[in-house]
Amino acid sequence: MLKVTNLSVQYGMIQAVKDVSFEVNEGEIVSLIGANGAGKSTILRTISGLVRSTSGAIEYLDKDITKTPSRKIVEQRLIQVPEGRHVFKGLTVQENLDLGSFTRKGKEGIKEDLEQVFERFPILAERKNQDASTLSGGEQQMLAMGRALMSKPKLLLLDEPSMGLAPIFIKEIFRIIQDIQKQGTTILLIEQNAKVALEIATRGYVLETGKIVLSDTGKNLLKSDEVQKAYLGG
């Protein structure tokens, strides 16, 4: 579904991503893990068309999207939930969700999808007329995911969904991510929290200073000495 080949990204003199190749097959949850500054967000932002690569290729649904504008990428239902939530403050929960469906070509099914989002995140239904800024961190994460689901993603890119959340919220969010996958959405997840990210991953990749250093199934990576030592304190 997504194929990244020899991708490099540079910010001025800083090479943030170095010759990275990986793929995401339909139906998978793929986790990309790595420490601060490893280049995870840069990779997601490049796939979404928000940052331009210096070399390499990105294919989505067998089409080259390396130079496609982000607006067109969203229309092809490749949707990113950015780091730090980025919900629209000053707008209500309902208005934030409405913005998610804005990019859809046909308007049919929107009402049903909204009902489904409210079923999945009952707290959003309770808070639908409240300003998004009044939500807790975990609730804002849910709103950002709900908003992305309103765009009917084929491939969902999640940028550190566990960041800043209490363990109980992390558990809940990751259960919901698995649920979204089971209902047919493919997921590429980036995380510093290697444990939760690899536990739910079909496959995973480990990124260190811009390079992929390991790849395997989520289960095998969790067991591997390298991951245990570097990311799980084992």
Residues that bind ligand ATP (CB under 6 A): 11, 14, 16, 34, 36-42, 192
CA gap 169, 174 in Å, rounded: 9
Nearer to ligand ATP, 38 or 165 (CB): 38
Tokens of 159: 């940028």
Percent of the chain that is helix, strand, coil (3-state, to 5): 40, 25, 35
CA gap 183, 189 in Å, rounded: 17
The distance of closest approach from Cβ of residue 159 to ligand ATP in the complex, given in angstroms and rounded to an integer, is 8
CA gap 63, 104 in Å, rounded: 20
Measured from the Cβ of residue 140, the count of other Cβ atoms closer than 10 Å reads 22
The distance of closest approach from Cβ of residue 15 to ligand ATP in the complex, given in angstroms and rounded to an integer, is 8
The distance of closest approach from Cβ of residue 117 to ligand ATP in the complex, given in angstroms and rounded to an integer, is 27
Tokens of 228: 């245990």
The distance of closest approach from Cβ of residue 143 to ligand ATP in the complex, given in angstroms and rounded to an integer, is 21
The distance of closest approach from Cβ of residue 118 to ligand ATP in the complex, given in angstroms and rounded to an integer, is 31
The distance of closest approach from Cβ of residue 37 to ligand ATP in the complex, given in angstroms and rounded to an integer, is 4
Number of H helices, E strands in the chain: 10, 10
**Rounded (10°) angle between helices 137-149 and 167-182:** 10
Measured from the Cβ of residue 149, the count of other Cβ atoms closer than 10 Å reads 25
Nearer to ligand ATP, 82 or 91 (CB): 82
Nearer to ligand ATP, 40 or 152 (CB): 40
DSSP label at residue 51: S
Q: In DSSP terms, which residues pair with 184 in a beta bridge?
A: none
Nearer to ligand ATP, 14 or 213 (CB): 14
The distance of closest approach from Cβ of residue 64 to ligand ATP in the complex, given in angstroms and rounded to an integer, is 22
Residue type at 57 in one-letter notation: A
Nearer to ligand ATP, 51 or 132 (CB): 51
Nearer to ligand ATP, 41 or 151 (CB): 41
Nearer to ligand ATP, 210 or 218 (CB): 210
DSSP 24-55: E-TT-EEEEE--TTSSHHHHHHHHTTSS--SE
